[in-house]
Every structure is written in structure tokens, then in C-alpha cells.
Structure 1
Amino acid sequence: MVFKVILGFMLLHVSLFGGEFKLSSSFFASLHTAKSKAILHDYERFMNETSSKPLHVKLDAVNFYINAFVGAYDEQTYRSEDYWASRWEFLENGGGDCEDYVIAKFYTLKDLGIDPKKMALCIVQDMDNGSYHMVLLFFEKPHTEPLVLDNLSFKILPLSKRYDLKVKECMNEEGYFKLENSELVRNPSRRGIKNYVEMLTRNQKESLWQH
């Protein structure tokens, strides 16, 4: 399902007590279009406005902000049937498909101070039609059910309230996991997912912020 939302791009810099997100000049120079530059400027603004907010405000804000981008199929953007875009590629192109939304949310929340070990990119099955999808799960505390950030919903819900989803497998920078009793259990038998590994490699080379 494709959503199209018009974004208002405000070229604004906001200073915060804990420092400021500022795009690196070399990264900004690599952007190809005026649209890309406007998107990244607005993303910079969003990061500065959100960085000092409480945890659950950050979750809601990031879910809403990223969901507002335009949905697009890989064949349209990358001429590939299943391309996992990095956060920069998602922002530069102004949208993507389900895994691209999840990746953008993961790295946005990580930069906003959320422990990446508490998040996982999870492949789920839609129990209504049998299709596969990807969502971001957030585990606030051990032994508590995760919250679901989904590009098809602007509302964050506990996993138990998402009756339509069945979690198949999860991954983050620590490796691959199964979900058992609301816990991520490492799955050592799982080989790397090629598109995910390639995305991680590209992502490591992308330095958005000045340090």
C-alpha cells in the first residue's frame, strides 16, 4: 500500500542543551537534487526538535515522521525486486517500501539515544492475507512485550494488540533472533540475509552528522 503525504520542508536549525544535530558538509554536498537537500534539512530540524523529548514522545514522533514519506516499490527506485535501502537512501529518495521505513526508524531512534539492542527489524506475516511485511519492534524492558512501529499505522501498539501480525524472524546489529515469550532469542543457525548485510555495509560508510 502506498501513502503519499506532502511534506513541508522548513530550513531551520534548532540548538539544544545536549548539543546540535548538524549535517556534515561533505555529506550534504553529495546530495544530488534540491528535493534531497530540502528533505535532509528538514530531517536535521526534526532531529534537533525531538532529541530532548521523553522516550515515548520520541517513538511517536519518529513513527509519524518517517511514515509521512511516500511509499515506493524497489522496482521503481532501484530497479531491483528486493533492495534494502539505507537511511540516507530512503531520505534522499523521499520514501521506500516497508523494510526501508523500518531501517530509517531504527537509525533515527539510535541517533536519538535509543539503545539499538532494544530494537529489532522483524519480518512478520499478515494473518489476514498471508503476505509478508516488516516492522520495527521496541523492547522497553526485559520480559515485557514489545511495541510495534509499522509504516502502515500511525499508532504504536503492543504486539499483543496486533492480532494481524505473526513474527517470523528478527534482526539488529547484534545478529539474528527468534521471538519467544516477548524475548529476542539468538538464532545462531540463521545465515546472513544478503540484502540486509549489504545495507549494513553501505550504512557504515554514511556519515550524516558533523562530529
Structure 2
Amino acid sequence: MNRFLLQRLMSRSAVAALVARAALLCTFACGLLVAGRALPSSSPLLSPALLEQMSARYGKGAVWRLLEWNKLLGNQQSASERLRLRHVNQFLNRVPFVEDAEHWGLADYWATPAEFLASNGGDCEDFAIAKLFTLQAAEVPADRLRLMYVNARLLNQPHMVLLYIEEGQAPLVLDNLTNAIQPAGERADLEPVYSFNSSGLWLNRPDSPERKVRDHSGSLMWEDLVERMRREIGE
């Protein structure tokens, strides 16, 4: 029986059973950094209460999607770092692209990874943010990951991607527009503007060297996102 038919046939008791089991499947948050601070290993991102809340807001399919996310992370323990990038990029790129105005009724909204997956939709910021925190949860060092705003030349609009930066190597771009992970220098369709993570903000102009201009993200949207993630895990 396929997964989508199972979703339709699930009873309320079946959802409750999944939520009860989720406590055993939610240990992947060890080592995750939120705003530069490590969460204690006893604080799962997918608590039973969160799964219950997401199921109530977005339907029974939300639980399946979140548990699949959890399963993805559980399967990364023996994978190389580059393979983790590929697995996470491909998994999250399956989520449908939906503009904020249509999906959230707001001009701009940065969804938490749980909201993004549970609601089964989001825009480029939501893809990049979900990849950032999923890779941190998969124990990719936080200082190798940055959110980057670019100008997408073919789309002629601002766009957000995730950068993976390893010392001595060309930065790699994880993008919801493609499953291919390519060096930034090979993405002529993207014009870098700036990048940031919890430890700072960098200007990334094509005609000048990268320059760090802040020791924090400087983004109110980021601070709001982090606060909502903390509430989700009950911190």
C-alpha cells in the first residue's frame, strides 16, 4: 500500500500512536546550534507535543513528513560530509515551492524547518533555512554553513541559497532550483550579494574580496526565526 493511501486511511488513534512513538525517534538534535548556542542533547526538535501541534495545524500528512525527516537524519551517521549535503539537498528539494503570500498570507515569512515540512511548502528562504538546520543536526559544522542572498539572473529576482564552505575548497551551493550541488564559481546564473549565519554577516560582491561586516546576522527575520524554533523545542 503506498504512503499517500496510508495517509488517507490513518485514523486519529493511528496519529496518536505515531506521536507516542516519536519520542523514540527524536534524538537527532544533539549538536544542533541555534543562534550559535548548542542545544542540550536531551532537547529533541520533534517532541510529541510538537508533532501533535503540527498534525492539528497541517493535517495527518504532517506527521509522516516530519518522521521521514527524522529518518533521513538517522541514516546520515555513516555518510561522508559531502554525501550528507547531497542527501539533505535532494530530500528537502522534494517539497513544493510556494510563494509566501499564497502559503502563509504574508509578504515575507521565514518558516522553521518543522513548519516548512509539516505544511509541505515554502519559498527559497524556507528551503535554505531547512537545509542549514538539517545539516547542523546531521553534525555538519555550523561554521561551514551560511545562508546567502543572491540575484538569480535568469529569474531576475532576489534568491536565497545555502553555502557550504570548507577551508581550501571552492564554496558549494545548495539550491532549491536544482539537485546538483555545484561550486559557486560555476553558478554564473547567481550573482552573490551577502551571506550570513549566527556568527556574522559577510558582503560577497563579484568584483571584490569577501568582507565580514558584522559579528551577528543583523537580521530581525533571523532573530524571529530562532525564537520560534526555541519555542518549538520548549526551550
Q: Is TM (by shorter chain) over 0.5?
A: yes
**Cross-structure match for 1:136:** 162
The alignment partner of 2:178 has SS state of coil
Per-residue deviation, 1:189: 9.6
Unaligned runs of 5+ in 2: 8-17, 29-43
**Cross-structure match for 1:4:** none
Distance change (3 Å), C-alpha of 1:120 and 1:207: same
**Cross-structure match for 1:152:** 177
The alignment partner of 1:30 has SS state of helix
Which of 42, 51, 58 is residue 68 of structure 2 equivalent to? 42
Q: Distance in 2 between matches of 1:191 and 1:111?
A: 20
Per-residue deviation, 1:122: 0.4
Q: Distance in 1 between matches of 2:185 and 2:149?
A: 16
**Cross-structure match for 2:203:** 178
**Cross-structure match for 1:198:** 224
> Partner letter of residue 58 of structure 1?
R
CA RMSD for the aligned pairs? Answer: 3.2
- Aligned structure 1 segments of 4 or more residues deviating by more than 4 angstroms: 7-13, 180-184
**Cross-structure match for 1:30:** 53
> Partner letter of residue 50 of structure 1?
Q
The alignment partner of 1:96 has SS state of coil
Which of 105, 108, 114 is residue 88 of structure 1 equivalent to? 114
Per-residue deviation, 1:69: 0.7
The alignment partner of 1:187 has SS state of strand
Larger Rg: 2
Q: Distance in 1 between matches of 2:140 and 2:211?
A: 20
Per-residue deviation, 1:190: 8.9
Identical pairs, percent: 28
Q: Distance in 1 between matches of 2:101 and 2:93?
A: 20
Per-residue deviation, 1:193: 2.6
Q: Distance in 2 between matches of 1:198 and 1:57?
A: 31
Distance change (3 Å), C-alpha of 1:189 and 1:30: closer
Q: How does the TM-score come out when normalised to structure 1?
A: 0.82
Q: Quick check: which one's helix share is greater?
A: 2
- Does residue 1:165 correspond to 2:190, yes or no? yes
